[in-house]
Amino acid sequence: MFIYNVTINIDESIHNQWLSWMKTKHIAEVLATKKFKKAVLVKVLVDEEMGGTTYSVQYYAENRADLEDYYTNFAPKLRAEGLQLFGDKMLAFRTELEILEVF
């Protein structure tokens, strides 16, 4: 199983709007692609020098093929909406994690 992790720092000026959008629209749209089994939204407990609040969304994919299909067929449109709505008020970076074992 793979985790597609998106870490996002959100400027306080759009924080509430962004969080509402994530909870009510964006995460649901990512899950609607059927490429992920579940998503977990967490707040990163760190004081950022640049300010803002940082979150991580972890999307769980069964296999690499689902992840690659998401990147090719869905990610560009879904990413574009966030950029259009929030622009430079959010900073995101993405990582892939492979679950080796659960204890």
Output the six-digit token pair for 14: 């759009």
Question: What pLDDT, on the 0 to 100 scale, is given for residue 79?
Answer: 92
Question: What pLDDT, on the 0 to 100 scale, is given for residue 49?
Answer: 80
Name residues whose C-beta falls within 8 Å of residue 91's C-beta, 6 or more positions apart in sequence.
8, 9, 50, 52
* CA dist., res. 23 & res. 55, Å (int): 12
CATH code (residue 78): 3.30.70.100
Residue 39 lies in a domain: yes
pLDDT in tens, 40-79: 999 999 887 878 999 999 999 999 999 999 999 999 999 9
* CA dist., res. 28 & res. 14, Å (int): 20
Cβ contact 41:55 at 8 Å: yes
* CA dist., res. 75 & res. 91, Å (int): 16
What's the domain range around 22? 2-98
Q: How many domains is the chain partitioned into structurally?
A: 1
Residue 34 has pLDDT above 90, yes or no: yes
Q: What is the mean pLDDT of residues 71-88?
A: 94
pLDDT band at 100 (very low <50, low <70, confident <90, very high): very high
Residue 103 lies in a domain: no
